[in-house]
Each structure stands twice: as structure tokens, then as C-alpha cells.
Structure 1
Amino acid sequence: MPRPVKCRKVCHFPNVLEFLPSDDNEKKAPIVLSVDEYETIRLLDKKGYSQEQCAVSMQIARTTVQRIYEIARKKIADALIDGYPLRIEGGDIRICNGQSNNCNLGGCYKQEIYQKYAAKKGECTMRVAVTYENGQIFQHFGHTETFKIYDVQEGKVVHSEVVDTNGNGHGALAGVLNALNADVLICGGIGGGAQTALAAAGIKLFGGVSGNADEAVEAFMKGTLDYNADVKCSHHEHNHGEGHTCGMHGCGSHSCH
């Protein structure tokens, strides 16, 4: 019986999920790069980590890093040389919430957030996060500079505060929400990549909401919140979420979630 695959920790979800050749007349089937394969490219080639450092960050063996990296490089080479579309999705991964002491080899912005907000949240508390600006629901998830978080117990808000996103955007914001121990996100527009990242982090999405943030949370608690289950973000992406929003094993009952 084969050994079960160990989940690979990734810092954040990719901001861009699909790359297309400018001359795509042949409509070739895309080459699929998994998120853990993407992470080895980001850490080794972009960040300049050694394979040992990459293994520590992803919490897997160095030999596993080497194997994943070789597969990723081959896929990217095939896409570039033969002109295939490249799509990033899937993989046995979990989004980092800053809980690990060796997260990002020290200095991870999510560590401080996790340490602060994990202690504050009680067992019977639901934490609702809202993209926030001047009392209103900010309409583009990937560009939100602050979240307002609400701790809800027995249908009442017992605590709320505004939290800075530390300048992070798009895929990285799912990690911020994960570090905040958020259970629910209420927002306006949101792209397919961010939706996938939220699903991987186990955060329930209520998108397509506008208006006053406090009133939206009140409506959510009463079960009357007007939201769009099929929300799409028109600011960027090319319907990347269509057809593969739940390409992540973490979207279901897989042990990586």
C-alpha cells in the first residue's frame, strides 16, 4: 500500500493562475503546474533558497523538494519551448497561517497575526472578516488594505476591530485571513484564484456584497445577507476560477485541509 502524500506548506496562493501564448490559435490543452510545484519555483528560483531551506519552509524532505522542482522545471520548459498554455492549480497543499516557528525561515508577517488572534478567539466564537474602507465593504478583495473582523457568539458581535493587511494582496490575503483565524469572509468582487485560496484555507466566502460593513454582518447573523454565490472579479484574471475553483485537494475532506 503506497505511503500517503504529505501535505506541502505554501506561503500563499499564486496571484496569477494562467499564462497563455500570444498566438493561441491551436487551442492547445494547458500544461498544469500544481501549487506545490509553483512554490518550489518561487522559493528556489525567485527567493534564492537552497533545497534544504525550501524543504524547511514547505515542511517536507529535501529529496521531495528536488523531485517536485525537477517536475516543475520540465513543465515550464515544455510550456515555453512548445508554446503551451500554463495553468497553476491543484496539489497536496495547505496555506501557511504563520503557526510554524520556522515559517518563512523567520520574520513571517503572519506569525505575529496568528499569535495575537489565535489567543483571542474562543472555541464557541465565529470570526467574520470583511474587506473594509471607511465603514464600507471594499469592493476589490485583492487590493483591500484593511479587514474589519467581528467575533460573533450566540448571534451577537462581542468584539470587532480593524486589521491592516500589511500591504499584501490577492493570493497572500488568504494567508492573512487564515492567520486571523477567520471562518467567514464578506467582500465585494473577488477573483477565481483568491476564491480557490480561501477554499483551501477553509474560509467560507460571501461575495458580491456592498454597503455598510456593520450592517452586512448584522444581516449575515440574521441569515438575510444578500450575496452572490457566483461572484466574479472584473478587475483582473480571465475567469481563472471557472471549471477549477476547487482544484485543490483541500477543498474537500482530504487530510491536507
Structure 2
Amino acid sequence: MPRPTKCRRVCYFPEVLEFSPTGAVSGEPIVLTFDELETIRLIDKENLSQEECGAQLGVGRTTAQKIYETARKKIADALVLGLALKIEGGEFQLCSGSTDFCYKKDCIKRQIQKEYKTEKGANIMRIAVTYENGNIFQHFGHTEQFKLYDIEDGKVIKTELIDTNGSGHGALAGVLSAVKADVLICGGIGGGAQMALAENGIKLYGGVSGNADEAVNAFVAGNLAFNPDVHCEHHDHEHGGETHICGDHGCGHGHCGNH
């Protein structure tokens, strides 16, 4: 009986999920999984060794080497054959920053966990809002602050501001997971970030503008106006106009053999 696949730890979701060359030939796109892309990022961009990459992924060096070689072969095929490249799927879990090993000593998710006291009771809902000068900031991936609202018995009992320190789209979802957010209210948001929120079990209410406090009060009252098909104009160009929303992948959804 084959051994179950062990989930690979991925730091964050990419902001671009599909690459299509000009004049691409007809044919099925090549699919690069999230854990395969992570090995490319760690080894080729971050200059980690295969052993360090394996430790970051939570697997052995040999496994990391095999994932990396598969990823390089897929990228080579896409370039040489002129095929589109899509990033999706794989056996992975999104890192929350709680791991003992991390090659980034300044990991924002770990900093958040240490700096902010975000414990909450079982009956409390925590809402995060992209925030700037009292209003909902309209570009999720560029937000410099979240405002957190703790809700109990239909009332706001606590608020707190947290800084993001320039984290990107996918990493911001990890920040929200680190502070135990249940809901995000925001303006525009890209497909990769939506996928990352779904992986972390964070409910998205996008396409909202105006005063942040008023939006939260409207949410609590059950009459918040939001766009269930929200997208980000900046990412429309990169994704070919598609919004990729998926909560049906990764370890949190039972796709790994060791769950």
C-alpha cells in the first residue's frame, strides 16, 4: 500500500495564476501545482538549497528535489512548446506563521502572532477590514492596515488596528489567519488572494466602499451591500479577465492522505 502524500507547506499564494504567451499554440495548458511553484520560488528566487527548501515545505530533501525537478520540466515544456501555464492544485497547506522553521526571520505572519494579542472567545466573530483614514481601502493587496472588529451578541466589543508591513496579496491572507479573522470586508481583490482566503476559511465580502465602521455595522445588521463576484481591475489584465475563486483544495479540505 503506497504511503499517503504529506502536505507541503506553502508560504503564500501567487498573485498571478495563469500565463499565456502571445500566439500560443492550441493545446491543453500545462498545470503547475502550488507546491511545485513554491519550490521554484524557494530555490531559484530565494536561493535556498534543496535541503532548506524541503525543511520549509515540511518534507525531506529528496522529496523537495523531485518536486523541483517536475516543476522545472513543466516550465520548460511551456516555454519550448508555447503552451499556457496555469497554477492550481497540489497537496499543500498555507503556512500560518506558527512553524518553528522559517527561512524568513522577519516573516510578517510570525511578527503578527508575537505582537498582537488576538485571543478571542468561542462566541466572538472577528471581522477584518482593509483600512485607510477611516474608510475601506480599495486594493486588498496594497493595504497598509487592517482594522479588526470583535463582534459578540450583535455588538462591536473591541477594535484594533494592525499594520501589514507591505505584505503582498497571498501573504495578507496568512496575516488574517494569524489574527484569527473570520470575515474580510474590502474593495477590490485579486483571484489569488480570494483563493488564499478560502483556504484559510475566511469569508469574503468584497466590492464594499465607504466608512469602515459603518460597513461593519451594516454587516452585523445583515444589510451590507457587497459584490459576490468582486474582482480586481489590476488583476483582470493579468488573469485574462477571469476571477479564480476556489476553496476546494489543500490540506484543510481533506485532499491529503495523512488527514
Q: Structure 2 length normalisation: TM-score?
A: 0.91
d(CA) in 1 for partners of 2:162 and 2:242? 28
**Matching residue's letter, 2:120:** K
d(CA) in 2 for partners of 1:254 and 1:220? 33
Counterpart check, 1:76 vs 2:78? no
d(CA) in 1 for partners of 2:116 and 2:100? 16
Residue of structure 2 equivalent to 1:249: 250
> Offset at 1:60?
1.3
**Matching residue's letter, 2:13:** F
Preserved contact between residue 132 and residue 138 of structure 1 (Cα < 8 Å): yes
Q: Deviations over 1:51-99 (max 9, x none)?
A: 1111111111222111111110100010111111111111121111111
Aligned positions of 1:1-257 closer than 5 A:
1-24=1-24, 26-104=25-103, 106-117=105-116, 119-236=118-235, 237-238=238-239, 239-242=241-244, 245-246=246-247, 248-250=249-251, 252-254=253-255
> Offset at 1:142?
1.4
3-state SS of the aligned residue for 1:129? strand
d(CA) in 2 for partners of 1:5 and 1:47? 25
Give the RMSD, CA atoms, in angstroms.
2.0
3-state SS of the aligned residue for 1:111? helix
**Unaligned stretches of 5+ in structure 1?**
none
State the identity as a percent: 59
d(CA) in 1 for partners of 2:32 and 2:133? 39
Preserved contact between residue 188 and residue 208 of structure 1 (Cα < 8 Å): yes
Preserved contact between residue 187 and residue 210 of structure 1 (Cα < 8 Å): yes
Q: Structure 1 length normalisation: TM-score?
A: 0.91
d(CA) in 2 for partners of 1:229 and 1:235? 18
**Matching residue's letter, 1:51:** Q
**Matching residue's letter, 1:241:** T
Q: Report how many residues are paired.
A: 255
> Offset at 1:107?
3.3
Runs of 4+ in structure 1 deviating by more than 6 angstroms, as ranges, are none
**Matching residue's letter, 1:14:** P
**Matching residue's letter, 1:18:** E
**Matching residue's letter, 1:9:** R
Q: Deviations over 1:117-139 (max 9, x none)?
A: 46532333211100111111111
> Offset at 1:11?
0.9
> Offset at 1:33?
0.3
